[in-house]
Amino acid sequence: MRILFGPILFLVLVILSSCKDKPDQKTSPLPMKKKAVVYQVFTRLFGNTQTTNKPWGTIEENGVGKFADFTPKALSEIKELGVTHIWYTGVPHHAVIQDYSDYGISNDDPDVVKGRAGSPYAVKDYYNVNPDLAVDPANRLEEFKELIQRSHTADLKVIIDIVPNHVARGYQGLTNPEGVQDFGAADDTSKEYYINNNFYYIPGQAFKVPEWQDGYLPLGGNENTLADSKFEENPAKWTGNGSRLAQPHFNDWYETVKINYGVRPDGTKDFEELPEEYRQKDYREHYKFWKDKKLPDSWHKFKDITQYWLNFGVDGFRFDMAEMVPVEFWSYLNSNIKMTKPDAFLLAEVYNPGLYRDYIQKGKMDYLYDKVELYDSIKHIMKGYGWTDHIPVVQRGMADIEHHMLHFLENHDEQRIASPDFVGNAELGKPAMVVSATISTSPTMIYFGQEVGEPAAEDAGFGKPTRTSIFDYIGVPHHQRWLNNKKYDGGQLSDEEKLLRDFYKRLLNFTINSEALMGQYQEIHFYNKDNTEGYDHRVLSYVRWTNNEKIIVLTNFDEYKSYSLELKIPEDVVAEWQLKDGKYLLKEELYGTLNTDMTIADGQGKIQLELAPLQSYIFKVDE
C-alpha cells in the first residue's frame, strides 16, 4: 500500500516548483491553538531492561515491558520532552504465543501468528488488553486503567490502536459487555458474502497454512505443540489484505481475516453512499445522516468498541490501514466518536494521496499520515539525492488540508533514521526534524528511542534490523540507556545521545509553545534561490507568523557543506509584517546562542549568516 514518488514525477514537480508565476503561498491561520506532539511508544518494549536479545527469544529470555513501567517519573520525562499525546501501541489483546490458559485465554497457534510476541495488528479480543503487559494478567484491564489515569495526571492525552480492516484468525472475546457477540458468531458461513456477516467466506474449502518460504519456520523452528502447519478454519475466510485463497501466500496477511463492511465481492456497496455535499458538513450532520439508515453489523460492532474505550478513559485512536475500509464507515464511526468526545484525537493510516481529502472531509478524520508526500520527500533529501525544492511544492499541494497531515520521521513501520538502510546517523535527522515540526500547523509525531538515536540493529526473529521489531520480545538498547534501570534519567546515555535528546526537547517544546506555528506560512526558498548568492537545493527557508509572533526558519540538510549567506526576506513578507526600513533584532529560539540583526532597506530584509553542516536556525523577530 506504500506509494513512492518515482523519478519522473519528482522531476516534473521540481520543474513546476521553479516556475516564476507561482500561486499565493500563504496558508490561512487556524483559530488560536497550539501544536500537538504525539509520542508513539511500543508498549511492551518501553520498560524492558533485559539485554539478551536472542532471535525468537521467549518472554523469559528477552524480557517484556509492562503498563506499570510507565511510572509518574517516566511520564513526567515524556511530558517534559514536549509531548501532548502518547500513543500506546499494541494495547488491545492480540494473538500471542505465551501460555495464558490459566487465565481462561486460549493458546494461539504459531502457524497463524507472526513472531513470538505477536503482531499488535492481529487483535484477538477488542474488549481487553494484551496480558503480556500486566504484572497480574487477571488484573490487566485495571492495570491499563491505572496507566490512563497516570497519563492524565501527567497532562498527556492517551491514544490506542483500532484495526477495523481485520482481526486475528483466532478471535475470542472473553470479557465482552452484555449483549455483545464476537465477530463472526452469528455469520451465515454457507455464503461468501452477506451484508450482516462480519467475515467473507470460501464455502466448501478449509483454510490451509501458507507454504513457508526462504527457510522460514514458525518461532524460528523452536518446538511448540501447535506448530504443525495446520490451523482449523472451515470454511476458510478471506485473509486480511483481501486474499480470497483458502491457502494464502506467505506474504499475505495470513494471520488475520478481513472484516466485511457491506462491500460485495464485486466491489459494489450494500449501503447508502454519503452525498457529496457532506464534505462541507460537520460531524453532527454526519451523525444525523446515519441515524435512520440500516447498516451492516460490522459498523455497529466497531462503533461499540470505540465507545467502550472512550468510556474507559481513552482520548483518541490511531486507525490502522484506514483506506482499506469504505469512507462511509468512517463518517459513521467518527461522527459517533465526536458526539461522545468532541476533542477525540483521530489519526488514520492512509497512503494514497488521491484519497486524502475523502478521508478527511467525508470520513471526518482529524489527521492522516503525511507519508507519501512530506516524509518520502524529506527522506530523499536526507539520503542525499533529493532536493529541498520539492518541499515547498508538497506544502503548496497540501495547502487546503495541511493541518490534517501529521508529520513524522519515524514510526513502527518505518526504518530508524540511524539504521544503515536509512542514513546511518541520527544527526542527519536534525534538519529534517526542524522542518517536519515547524513547516505546518499539523501535529508532529516521534517514535520512542528516536530522540536518543536508536538504530534498530537487532535480529529479533520475525522482525529484522532497521525497524524496531513489533513482532518479538526484544530490548531497545539506546532507549534502555535512557531508561537506566527504570530511573528514566538518561544516566547511561553517551554525551552524543544526551545532546540529541536535548535537541528534540528544545525543538518540541518550542513547537508546542509557538503561536506563529499555528499561524500563516510562506516559503522564501525560491526567492532566495533567485536572489541569494550561494543558496542552493541543500538548504531550505520559510517564514511563519501571527500578529504577535514572526518566525524565520533556515536549515541546512548537508552533512559536510557550510554556507555563508545573506538570506533575503521578500518584500511581500516585509509588507505583510508591517516592518519599516531599519534594523530588527532576531532572537534564535532553538539554542539561543546566536542573536543577530535583520536589516530592512527598500522593503527587503537581509540577514547575514554562517550556516554549519546540519545546522538550523529558528529566528523570532523582536519588534
Provide the pLDDT for residue 396: 97
Looking at the structure, tell me whether residues 193 and 249 fall in a common domain.
Answer: yes
Minimum mean pLDDT range among 26-40, 270-284, 350-364, 453-467: 26-40
Phi, psi of 299 (to 5 degrees): -60, -45
**Cα 581 to Cα 583: distance, rounded to the nearest angstrom:** 7
Take residue 321 and report the three cell numbers written for it.
Answer: 490501514
pLDDT digits (tens, 9 = 90+) for 92-126: 999 999 999 999 999 999 999 999 999 999 999 99
Looking at the structure, tell me whether residues 529 and 603 fall in a common domain.
Answer: yes
Identify the CATH number of the domain in which residue 541 sits.
Answer: 2.60.40.1180
Minimum mean pLDDT range among 176-180, 219-223, 590-594: 590-594
Provide the pLDDT for residue 11: 37
Q: Would the pLDDT of 531 be above 50?
A: yes
- Placement of cell 522542518 in the chain: 435
Provide the pLDDT for residue 623: 85
Looking at the structure, tell me whether residues 223 and 123 fall in a common domain.
Answer: no
CA-based nearest residue to 415, from 431, 404, 426: 426
Provide the pLDDT for residue 31: 55
CA-based nearest residue to 122, from 159, 166, 89, 162: 166
Looking at the structure, tell me whether residues 502 and 531 fall in a common domain.
Answer: no
Q: Would the pLDDT of 186 be above 60?
A: yes
Largest CA distance in the chain: 83
CB 305 within 8 A of CB 126: yes
Looking at the structure, tell me whether residues 396 and 492 fall in a common domain.
Answer: yes
Strand (E) or helix (H) holding 236: strand 236-237
Question: Is residue 365 situated within a structural domain?
Answer: no
Identify the CATH number of the domain in which residue 441 sits.
Answer: 3.20.20.80
* Domain boundary residue, one of 477, 512, 547: 512
Looking at the structure, tell me whether residues 508 and 589 fall in a common domain.
Answer: no
Q: Residues of the chain with pLDDT > 90: what percent?
A: 94
State the residue range of the domain holding 225: 184-258
Please state, rounded to an integer, the average pLDDT across all residues of the chain: 95
Confidence band for 33, pLDDT divided at 50, 70 and 90: confident
CB 223 within 8 A of CB 322: no
For residues 471-490, give the mean pLDDT.
Answer: 98
Looking at the structure, tell me whether residues 508 and 542 fall in a common domain.
Answer: no
Confidence band for 12, pLDDT divided at 50, 70 and 90: very low
Q: How many domains does the chain have?
A: 3
The region that residue 184 occupies, defined by phi over 0 for left and psi between -120 and 50 for alpha, beta otherwise, is left
Provide the pLDDT for residue 252: 98
Q: Burial of 26 by CB count in 10 Å (0-12 exposed, 13-18 middle, 19+ buried)?
A: middle
Q: Would the pLDDT of 17 be above 90?
A: no
Distances (CA, A) of 178 to 67, 131, 302, 304: 27, 22, 15, 12
Instruction: Give all strands (DSSP E) within 509-615, no chain letters.
Output: 520-523, 539-545, 550-556, 563-569, 582-588, 595-601, 604-611
pLDDT digits (tens, 9 = 90+) for 545-565: 999 999 999 999 999 999 999
* Domain boundary residue, one of 232, 258, 284: 258
Q: Would the pLDDT of 25 be above 90?
A: no
For residues 77-83, give the mean pLDDT.
Answer: 98
Question: Is residue 331 situated within a structural domain?
Answer: no
Question: Is residue 15 situated within a structural domain?
Answer: no
pLDDT digits (tens, 9 = 90+) for 376-428: 999 999 999 999 999 999 999 999 999 999 999 999 999 999 999 999 999 99
The better pLDDT of the pair 311, 1 is held by 311
Question: Is residue 229 situated within a structural domain?
Answer: yes
Question: Is residue 203 situated within a structural domain?
Answer: yes
